[in-house]
Structures are given as structure tokens and as C-alpha cells.
Amino acid sequence: MMSDLDDLYQQVILDHGRKPRNFHAIDDASGRAEGFNPLCGDRVTVYLKRDDGHIADAAFTGSGCAICTASASMMTQVVKGKSLADIEMIFERFHEMTTGREFTPQQAEALGKLAVFAGVKKYPVRVKCATLPWHTLKAAIENKQQPVSTE
Ligand code: ZN
């Protein structure tokens, strides 16, 4: 059962890694930030359009491993239409889940499809691949000029 679930999770990650969604630049982005994970070589640029306290649109470009690309792909899908407060909460939970802190099934449920990344906590070196797009998104919300590095 558990390995079936692992397989399913892997399939979702591989699918997004091969065919990333929202993989393009946004020319008139209201926020943009670059992120770099030197440990793996992942590079992402996150673009977003803000509409009051919401993210109206989000996209990314870059080159990263399957986990990083899949994480960025799913992240851009999840954050669209969400309020900044909701995004902050999702990011916190995502971070808790991938770093293997105390995590309840209710919290996993709140993460919805992002729960596929729960498996990365078994591979500490991969955690940064999964969280890099989120750190970069946060910088894009704040429109930071300084690139984000996981080191
Ligand atoms: Zn990576």
C-alpha cells in the first residue's frame, strides 16, 4: 500500500517535472525573483501578478531537477487566486512537511496535491529542491532584487 502511494507520488512529480505547468515568463509581472540551489544546481525565476491581496497569476522559468521543476509547477498552480495570507500558511505547512517536523493528517489534507512532496523528507538533500520555488515565490511577493540562495 505504502509503496503504491509512493509510486503515485513519484508519477505526479515526474509528470510535472517533464511537463511543467505555467512554465513561461510574465512580461508585465508585478513581482519577480530568482532562486538558486547550489547543492543541486537548480535555478528558478518566479513571476507573479498581484491583484490587491491576491496572486492573480504565477509562472516560472529556469532549469532544475525533476523535484524542483515539479514543485515550481505545482506551486504556480496552487497559488493562483489565493490570498497572500493563505499562501504564507501553505508555505509554512509545506516547509514543515518537507523538513519532517510534527505533521498531522489534517495538515497534509490542507496541502492537497502538494502532499506528494512529503516523501522528500527522507532525502534531506532534496528538501531544498522542493522548497526553493517557495522561497523564490516569497521573494517575488516582496519583489526582492537579491537572488535567493538556499545556502
Ligand atoms: Zn534539485
* 58 Cα: distance to centroid of ligand 1 (angstroms): 21
Q: Which residues of 113-149 are buried (b: 16+ CB within 10 A; e: fewer)?
A: ebbbbbbbbeeeebbbbbbbbbbbbbbbbeeeeeebe
Collapsing DSSP states into helix, strand and coil, what is residue 35?
A: strand
pLDDT at residue 119, rounded to an integer: 82
118 falls within a domain: yes
51 falls within a domain: yes
* 88 Cα: distance to centroid of ligand 1 (angstroms): 22
150 falls within a domain: no
Collapsing DSSP states into helix, strand and coil, what is residue 81?
A: coil
Q: Which pTM was predicted?
A: 0.91
* 53 Cα: distance to centroid of ligand 1 (angstroms): 31
Q: What is the CATH number of the domain that holds 123?
A: 3.90.1010.10
* 119 Cα: distance to centroid of ligand 1 (angstroms): 14
Radius of gyration of the chain (CA): 14
Mean pLDDT of the chain: 90
Collapsing DSSP states into helix, strand and coil, what is residue 51?
A: strand
**What does the pLDDT look like over 98-145, one tens digit per residue?**
887 767 777 777 788 898 888 888 888 889 999 999 999 999 999 888
Residue 87 is part of which domain span? 2-144
56 falls within a domain: yes
Q: Per-residue pLDDT for 2 more than 50?
A: no
Q: Quote the number of domains for the chain.
A: 1
151 falls within a domain: no
* 66 Cα: distance to centroid of ligand 1 (angstroms): 7
Query: Mean per-residue pLDDT for 44-69?
Result: 95
More confident residue, 43 or 123: 43
